Amino acid sequence: MLYLLQLKSLMISIVFVIGASLTLAQAEDARSIMEQARKDAEKMRLPVNKYTDEGLKAAQETLDHFHSPEFQEKIRCEEQRLEKEIFIDYTAPWKKKQQPKEEQEMEAGNLNSTEKVYLFFSSSVPDETMQAYLTTIGKAGDPNVILVIRGWVGGMADTKADVTYFSRILQKDPACRDLSKPCQHYQMEINLQPALFTKFGITQVPAVVYENKNKAYLIQGDAGLDYLLERINHEAKSATLASLIKKMRGTY
- According to CATH, the topology of domain 62-249 is Glutaredoxin (3.40.30)
Which residues lie closer than 8 Å to 165 by C-beta, 6 or more apart? 123, 153, 154
Give Cβ neighbours of residue 65 (< 8 Å, ≥ 6 apart). 71
Structural domain boundaries of the chain?
A: 62-249
User: Which pTM does this prediction carry?
Assistant: 0.57
Q: How do residues 134-156 score in pLDDT, each as one tens digit?
A: 999 998 989 999 999 998 776 66
Distance between CA atoms of residues 160 and 158, nearest Å? 5
pLDDT tens digits, one per residue of 180-202? 778 888 888 899 999 999 999 99
Q: Give the pLDDT means over successive 10-residue stretches in the chain (252 positions).
A: 40 41 64 81 78 82 77 73 66 58 50 94 94 93 94 74 87 81 87 94 96 94 94 94 91 70
| Average pLDDT along the chain | 79
